[in-house]
A and B are shown apart, each in its own frame.
Chain A
Amino acid sequence: MTTVPVSAVSWKYALISVFLVPRNVAVVVLRAYRAVISPLYGDVCRYYPSCSSYTLQAIQHRGLSVGAGLGILRIARCHPWAAGGVDDVKPAKNPRYALTPFGFVVPRSHGKG
């Protein structure tokens, strides 16, 4: 148990949460896309995880701008002549955030300190 004042912890928590807002907005958008629009096409992606799932993970781990860039590169790779296969997002070196079951990115310090 650390003895950091509660207010300091919650301030830090709030600040990081604000920092995480853009990627969480993207998470909502991508989740909606995957629930509503993706099914229209059925299974098309030549990779595992699929392009939208890859982009979602990339944004969760690397933030909106880097993640979206990785997603675009992945879609560019997903053409009819590609061999496909397993192509995971490179995990972050030191994971600083946790994921909720829905996929929201939250500060790790929440709760357990």
Chain B
Amino acid sequence: MDLLGTILWPIKWVVELILVAFHYVWTWVGLNPNDGLTWVLSIVGLVLVIRAALIPIFVKQIKSQRKMLEVAPQLKKIQDKYKGKKDQFSREAMSRETMELYKRTGTNPLSSCLPLLLQMPIFFSLFSVLNDAQHEKAGGGVGLLNETLAKSFGESDLFGAPLKATLANNEGSVLVIVFAVSMIALMTASQFITQLQIMSKNQSPEAKNSPMFKQQRILLYILPIVFVFSGVAFPLGVMFYWLTSNFWTMGQQFLVIRNMPTPGSEAAKAREARLAKRGKLVIKDGPLSDETVVDEVPKTTQRQQPVGKNRAKKQGGSK
């Protein structure tokens, strides 16, 4: 076994465990174990388990994004310092200073690379099972996906479209082409909506002025092209994984933007308006406002004037 295989082995093993467990459940419910639908539902189950396991990381990320409010003034200072400087060195220096600030204040809003990389083997092992089936290679996975199950997975078809087929290698089936093309369209649409709702609604005005934002905007239009290219090469089964995952992201993003939007963004204003309509608006600037550092209480040496009892009553009510 090569080095990469050794690193990926545990992840592949867990993927197979979840996949086979779901397959067992669906068979037990009464679905045909060799039918494509059973396997597709197993893939959907796999996505749900993995994405649910990633929720804590997601929540953590949102929390640190909210905490960024605390450092907004310092961040603004850095951005002002490099305002209008578009050369490579200034940009680099700005990124460096921003990163230092995040580290110093413990407010790093970025999600980190490792979880992304851990998701790759999942994709890869699904791909290899289906790919092996396509090339009629015997042998199962590394764990619970034994030879019989792997064969059943590889040879199954959904309403007549084999899960192992790709758009490029469609075995002359019109159904495969229809499935693949509509899935590419759906994937592109969902990714597009996800990105667009983050960018148009859930960005604070400061973030909208940053160069990163403009870069993201360009990406929005490159993404669909990437999907088309990869859609051609991936088997239907793998595309079902991707599609479900995209839908999950879209739903998750929608809920987050609706219920805990970035303070100061359009979505936050919309939420306040919604709450006000129902008469439920509680004035506070976000669920984490108690954690916000308030260091700008003006301290004056001036003595508070004493107020008569009656006058205090008239003024007050607030206390």
Contacts and interface: CB of A to CB of B under 8 A. Distances in A.
Interface of A: 36, 39-48, 50-51, 75-76, 78-80, 82-86
B94 to A, nearest CB: 10
Instruction: List 9 tightest A-B contacts by C-beta distance, closest first.
Output: A85-B103, A48-B99, A78-B113, A84-B108, A79-B114, A51-B113, A78-B112, A46-B110, A46-B112
Interface string B69-103: 00000000000000000000000000110111011
Contacts of B106: 83
A42 to B, nearest CB: 6
Main secondary structure of the interface of B (DSSP, over half): helix
13 contacts: A41-B116, A45-B113, A46-B112, A51-B113, A78-B114, A80-B60, A80-B112, A80-B115, A82-B108, A82-B112, A83-B103, A84-B108, A85-B99
A76 B102 CA distance: 19
B96 A86 contact: yes
Of B98, B115, B116, chain A has the most CB atoms within 10 Å of the CB of: B116
Nearest to A51: B113
B103 A36 contact: no
Nearest to A76: B114
A43 B212 contact: yes
B175 interface: no
B275 interface: no
B69 to A, nearest CB: 18
A83 B114 contact: no
A38 to B, nearest CB: 10
A40 B99 contact: no
Nearest to B218: A39
Q: Which of B100, B102, B114, B117 has the most CB of A within 10 A?
A: B114
A40 B113 contact: no
B182 interface: no
Given A43-B212, A48-B95, A48-B96, A85 B112 contact: no
B150 to A, nearest CB: 28
Contacts of A83: 103, 106, 108
A29 B249 CA distance: 29
Given A36-B226, A78-B112, A42 B95 contact: no
Contacts of B189: none
Contacts of A84: 99, 102-103, 108, 110, 112
B57 interface: yes
B100 to A, nearest CB: 6
Given A48-B95, A48-B96, 5 more contacts: A43-B110, A48-B98, A51-B113, A83-B106, A85-B102
A84 B100 CA distance: 8
A42 B219 contact: yes
